[in-house]
Amino acid sequence: MSKTKPSRLMDPSEPCHSLRGLVLMLLLTLVSVSLQGAAPEREVEIILVTGAPGEETYAERFEKQVTTWKEAATKAAVNVQVIGKDDGGAAALEAELKKAVAHTTGQLWLVFIGHGTYDGREAKFNLRGPDVSARQLSEWLKPMQRELVVIHTASASAGFLSSLATKNRVIVTATQGADEVFYARFGEFFAPAIAGLPEADLDQDKQVSVREAFVYASKEVAEFYEKDERLATEHALMDDNGDGVGTRAEVFAQKNGKEVKDGSRAAQIVLVLSEEERRLSDAQRAQRDELERQLEVLKAKREAMEEALYYRQLETLMRELAKVYST
């Protein structure tokens, strides 16, 4: 386990999600005996929707992404199913989402790999047979109560953002506008990142969050166009606060993180868990995530608080975190 300077624990300028690795190292050391044994089962489901490739070159690229996602699901020990291999893709997706919305707990990942179109009025995802529009998908997902993570890697995918965004959802799109209709490479980089690519693990906690995969893939896309001396035709967005606006990856690199509205929840969501994280149950992770959100709120108020009061409240939250890992 890598060493981290203890001083980071009290750094009020650092985002809460970067404390996780340190907290895990400190607390799991104290309560390792109580966390021994088989990893708890996760209530997570992945639906991969693969679209019509059009050309053989794209078929190979899409299939490679599907394979990477399936391997990631295997490592994560979660269920995954692939839709879109035949002409009944739209009907099959609607049917599966009807089943999915019947579950009120756990987490659903909905991943789109393929091409998208925009006719000036509506964005669609290209399937073998009838395409799926943003409006249709929004209607199918409207009853969804459990947390939803949508990774839409197709061109014109931003056209789905405002329709899908709401509370308890993380939406990632490969483009910042529905009019970015050329082939998007974002998914080629996002898939290996979310599967646990070490280079994408920005906070070095031995796992890759949705936010980290988003930042890594966005950087790789930008470098691709720069090296190829081409004008970038895709700019990914992420929304996890439900306002349907979305944030570019470059914003997260800014020093003044107080201006960033998105990213907090995405930083907590991981598909392939580290060895330490696998020892926790879904309930423990949910409780831990809520305490981390409270830490964020506390840190945002620090400048207006008396120092002694700030550290008392910080200590209280850290003790509550310790209880999570010891139960």
294 shares a domain with 246: no
Tell me what pLDDT residue 83 has.
Answer: 96
pLDDT at 4 over 50: no
CB atoms within 10 A of CB 175: 30
Q: State mean pLDDT over 45-69.
A: 96
d(CA 297, CA 295): 5
User: Which residue, of 259, 291, 313, is where some domain finishes?
Assistant: 259
User: Which residue, of 230, 259, 288, is where some domain finishes?
Assistant: 259
Q: State mean pLDDT over 60-86.
A: 96
Provide the percentage of residues in the chain whose pLDDT is more than 90: 69
CB atoms within 10 A of CB 91: 13
User: Is residue 16 in a domain?
Assistant: no
Best CA proximity match to 173, nearest among 219, 115, 237: 237
What is the 3 state secondary structure string of 193-262?
HHCCCHHHCCCCCCCCEHHHHHHHHHHHHHHHHHHCCCCCCCCCEEECCCCCCCECHHHHHCCCHHHCCC
> Residue 57's domain spans which residues?
44-259
pLDDT at 231 over 70: yes
pLDDT at 3 over 50: no
User: Which residue, of 226, 259, 292, is where some domain finishes?
Assistant: 259
pLDDT at 37 over 60: no
pLDDT at 179 over 90: yes
d(CA 213, CA 227): 21
200 shares a domain with 96: yes
User: Is residue 62 in a domain?
Assistant: yes
Token pair for 246: 């979305």
249 shares a domain with 287: no
- Prediction pTM value: 0.86
The sheet carrying 147-152 orders its strands as: 79-83, 44-50, 107-113, 147-152, 169-173, 237-239
Rg (CA), the chain: 20
Q: Name the residue with tokens 């490679």.
A: 64
Mean pLDDT, all residues of the chain: 88
pLDDT at 167 over 60: yes
Q: State mean pLDDT over 67-82.
A: 97
The answer to which of 28-37, 69-78, 118-127, 167-176 has the lowest mean pLDDT is 28-37
Backbone torsions φ then ψ of 197, nearest 5 degrees: -55, 120
Backbone torsions φ then ψ of 99, nearest 5 degrees: -65, -40
pLDDT at 177 over 50: yes
Contact 235, 248 (CB under 8 A): yes
- 138-166: per-residue pLDDT in tens? 999 999 999 999 999 999 999 999 999 99
pLDDT at 202 over 70: yes
Best CA proximity match to 124, nearest among 114, 111, 138, 134: 134
pLDDT at 173 over 70: yes
User: Is residue 217 in a domain?
Assistant: yes
Contact 24, 277 (CB under 8 A): yes
| Separation in Å, CA 269 to CA 74, 211, 325 | 17, 8, 18
DSSP string, 60-126: HHHHHHHHHHHHHHHHHT-EEEEE-SSTTHHHHHHHHHHHHHT--SSEEEEEEES-EEE-SS-EEE-
Structural domains in the chain (count):
2
124 shares a domain with 57: yes
Tell me what pLDDT residue 197 has.
Answer: 97
317 shares a domain with 173: no
pLDDT at 40 over 90: no
- 234-264: per-residue pLDDT in tens? 999 999 999 999 999 999 877 554 568 899 9
142 shares a domain with 254: yes
Residue 46's H or E segment, with its range, is strand 44-50
Torsion sign, CA atoms 76, 150, 63, 204: negative
Q: State mean pLDDT over 35-61.
A: 87
Best CA proximity match to 157, nearest among 171, 131, 178, 137: 178
The strand pairing partners of 82, in sequence order, are 48
User: Is residue 166 in a domain?
Assistant: yes
Which CATH number characterizes residue 187's domain?
3.40.50.1460
211 shares a domain with 318: no
- 282-305: per-residue pLDDT in tens? 889 999 999 988 888 888 888 888
User: Is residue 17 in a domain?
Assistant: no
199 shares a domain with 112: yes
